[in-house]
Structure 1
Amino acid sequence: MKKYLILASIIGLSTSLFSQTATEFTEKGKKLYEEREYMQAVINYNKAIEVDPNHHQAYYMRGKIKEAFEDIHGAMKDFNTAIEKNGKYAEAFFARGNIKYRLQDYYGAIADFTSTIALDANNLDAYYKRGQAKQQLEAYQDAINDCSKILELKPKNVDAYYLRGILRLEFGQLQEGCLDLSKAGELGDIKAYDIIREKCNHRLYSPAEGE
C-alpha cells in the first residue's frame, strides 16, 4: 500500500509539472525576473525547457540572468540555443552580440548586430552597438554611417551624436566631430563639453581663420 502511495505522489507531481505549459512557466519566470527573484525565475525557465525543449524564449531569458551574474559563457550557450531553436529571434542575436563584444570578438559581434538589424530594421541599440564594434576595428566611416542611421530614425538621439562626434575626431574629421559633440551637449550630454574643451577649442580654427 505504501508503494502505491509513493507512486501516486510521483505521478501527481509529474502531472502537475506537465499540466503547465512552457509558455506559462516562462511568463511566471518573467514576472519573477521583474521582481528580482532571479533564482526562482531560473527554476521556472528550467521547467519550461523540461516541458518543451524547443521553447526558445526560456533559453533566452535564462541566458539574460546568467549574463547578469557574469556567467558569460553560460549565457552564450543559452543564446546560441535560443537562436538554434528560432533563427529569427532578433533579441537573442542582439544579446549574443553583446556577449561577443564583451569577449572582444568584434567581427562576431558585428555579424550578430547585423542579423538583429535584418530582423528589426528599427533597432537603434543594434546600430549603436555595431558602431561601437566597428570603432574597435577602426572602421570609422562604417561606424559613422551607423550613427547617422540612428539619427535618421531618431533625430535627437544624444548617444548617437556623442559617439559620431568621437568617431569623427578619431577619423580626423575635426570640425564635424566637434559640431556633433556640441549637439550632444545641447541635448544634455554634459561630458561632451569635456571633450570639446580638450579636443576642439584650440584646434578647430587655425590662427589665420581666427584673425
Structure 2
Amino acid sequence: MIQNNYKVENYKTIGKNFYSKRDIKNALKFYKKAYNLLKENKDTDLLIDMALIYDEIGEKKLAEEKYNEVINIDSKDERAYYGLAIIYDGKKENEKAIVNYKKAIEINPNYNRAYFFLAGIYDDIGEKNKAIENYKKVINLDYKDFWSYTNLSSIYEELAQYNDSLEMVDKALSIYPNHYMALFNKAVVLYKLGRKYEAINLYKLSIEDNKEYPYTYLNLAVIYKNMGEYEKALEIISEGIENNKDSGFLYYNRACYYVNLKKYNNALRDLYDAVNLYPGFIKYIIKDRELDPIKNDKRYKILIKN
C-alpha cells in the first residue's frame, strides 16, 4: 500500500510538471496512471486536475464525469460545482450553470469567480438587476476587479443610467488607464450624452490600445457619418477592415459610405465581401434604403438572388 501511494504521488507530480509546461497529452497520461492505481479513487485533487484537462481538450462528458466523482466523494467541494457550471455555461445551458454556480457560492460565499460568471449569465439572459448584484459582490471581494467595473458600465449604459455607467468605467480606467474596452465603453456613454468630440478622442485611444476590435472603428466611423463627413468615415472604417479582414459588418457599412460618395463599384464589391463572410446580411441589404442607388444594378440583383 505504501509502495502504491508512492507511485500515485509520483505520477501526480510528473503530471503536474507536464501540465505546467502545457504538455497536456503527457499530463493526462500520468494523471490516468495515478487514477488507475487508486482502488477507491478518492483523491479529489487528482480528479479535479483530470476534469480541468478534459474540459480544456473539449472532452466535456469526461470532465463532467470527473466532477461528479468529486461530488460523490465530497458533496461540499465547491470546485466541482464551479467546474460543472463552467461546462454548462460554455454550452449555454444556463439553468444548469446557474444552479451549479449558486451551489459553489453556497458552499463558499467568497467564491469570486462564481459570482463573476453568474453575473455574466444573468446579463446574457436579460436579468440586469441580478447581474448588477453579482458584479457588485465580486467588487466587494476584490475592489480592483477591472472586468466587473467594465461590465457594470456596459449594463448601466444599456439601462440608460449614464452617471452610474461613467462612475463604473472611471473606476475601471483607474485600474488600467489605457484599456481599449473601458475606453470604448466610456466613448459610447459620452456620445449618448452629446459629448461627441470627447467620444471621438476616446475611440482613437481605444484603437491605439487594440487595433483588432472592429466595433471601435464602426462606432467612430458612424460618428463621422452622422456629421456628414463621409470621407473621414470611409478612412476610419477602411483602417478597421485592414486590421479586421473577417468582420463582415465593416464591409457592409463601408459599402453604404461608398454609395453616399457615389462610388458604386466599390460599394458593390464590399457588399459581395460582406455576404461572403456572412450570408445573413442579404435580408438587411434588401431592406436597406441607403443602398437604393445601386439596386437597379445587375450585379446587385445577382447578389440578392444568390
User: Equivalents in 2 of 1:144, 1:201: separation in Å?
Assistant: 25
Q: Which of 127, 131, 146 is equivalent to 2:168?
A: 146
Task: Tell me how far 1:196 sits from its aligned partner.
Answer: 2.2
Identity %: 20
How does the TM-score come out when normalised to structure 2? Answer: 0.58
Shift of 1:161: 0.6
Question: Separation in 2 of the partners of 1:106 and 1:202?
Answer: 30
Alignment of 1:53-202 (within 5 A): 53-187=75-209, 188=211, 189-200=213-224
Asked if 1:33 corresponds to 2:55, the answer is yes
CA RMSD after TM alignment = 1.9
Q: What letter matches 2:108 in structure 1?
A: N
TM-score if structure 1 supplies the norm length? 0.83
Residue identity in the other structure for 1:198: V
Structure 1 CA distance for aligned equivalents of residues 136 and 124 of structure 2? 17
Is the alpha carbon distance of 1:201 and 1:183 closer, same or farther for their aligned partners in structure 2, counting shifts above 3 Å?
A: farther
| Deviation (angstroms), 1:201 | 6.9
Question: Is this contact kept in 2: 1:174–1:200, CA < 8 A?
Answer: no
Q: Which of the pair has the greater relative contact order for Cα pairs under 8 Å at 6+ separation?
A: 1
Bigger Rg over Cα: 2
Q: How far 1:194 moved relative to its partner?
A: 3.0
| Structure 2 residue matching 1:16: 3-state secondary structure | coil
Structure-1 separation of matches of 2:166 and 2:124: 21
Q: Are the equivalent residues in 2 in contact too, given 1:79–1:93 (CA < 8 A)?
A: yes
Task: Give the partner amino acid of 1:38.
Answer: K
Specify the code of the residue in structure 2 equivalent to 1:16.
K
Q: Is the 8 A contact 2:178 2:205 kept in 1?
A: no
Q: Runs ≥4 in structure 1, deviation > 4 angstroms?
A: 200-204
- Kindly provide the amino acid, as one letter, of the partner of residue 91 in structure 2: F
| CA deviations over 1:33-73 (Å, ceiling 9, x no partner) | 12221110000000111111110111011011011112110
